């Protein structure tokens, strides 16, 4: 298996632009998580899905952030409009079932100018 796939790996955009981050979880994994990593705040859980349904989005910082999972093999995290403080590394992770570990993707490094 190729593992969790994220695209793009790097994204540089200007303030006010829309940004879409993509994730393909490992096949058969029914949980999907989006995290953000910054030096100041460490690793933060933004939202997670179970069987494509959003379960907890309490970590989503603002209404500018939205996430979808239209099917079991694809999820997006969208920021509209983007701001410089959104600059971070965004990780997607998937997990098979309730009692297993999460598998992380390589991350997307987002820079908002």
Partner 1 sequence: AQSVAQPEDQVNVAEGNPLTVKCTYSVSGNPYLFWYVQYPNRGLQFLLKYITGDNLVKGSYGFEAEFNKSQTSFHLKKPSALVSDSALYFCAVRHLAGNMLTFGGGTRLMVKP
- The reply on whether position 96 binds partner 1 by CB under 8 A is no
Q: Does 101 bind partner 1 (CB under 8 A)?
A: yes
Nearest to 86 by CA among 62, 67, 106: 62
Using the rule CB under 8 A, is 12 a contact of partner 1?
Answer: no
Q: Which residue has the tokens 């997307």?
A: 108
Q: Of 13, 20, 50, 111, which lies in the binding site for partner 1, with binding defined by CB under 8 A? A: 50
Query: Which of 32, 107, 110, 112 is in the footprint of partner 1 by CB under 8 A?
Result: 107
DSSP 57: -
Interface with partner 1, residue 98, by CB under 8 A: yes
Map tokens 């979808």 to a residue.
68
CB 58, CB 82: distance < 8 Å: no
Minimum CB separation of residue 46 from partner 1 in Å reads: 11
């Amino acid at each position: 298996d190729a593992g969790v796939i994220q695209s793009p790996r790097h994204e540089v955009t200007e303030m006010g632009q829309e940004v879409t981050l993509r994730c393909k979880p490992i096949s058969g994994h029914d949980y999907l998580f989006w995290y953000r990593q910054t030096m100041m705040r460490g690793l933060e859980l933004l939202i997670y899905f179970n069987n494509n349904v959003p379960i907890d989005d309490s970590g989503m910082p603002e209404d500018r952030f939205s996430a979808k999972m239209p099917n079991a093999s694809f999820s997006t995290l969208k920021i509209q409009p983007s701001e410089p403080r959104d600059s971070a590394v965004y990780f997607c992770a998937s997990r098979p079932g309730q009692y297993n570990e999460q598998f992380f993707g390589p991350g997307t490094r987002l820079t908002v100018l």
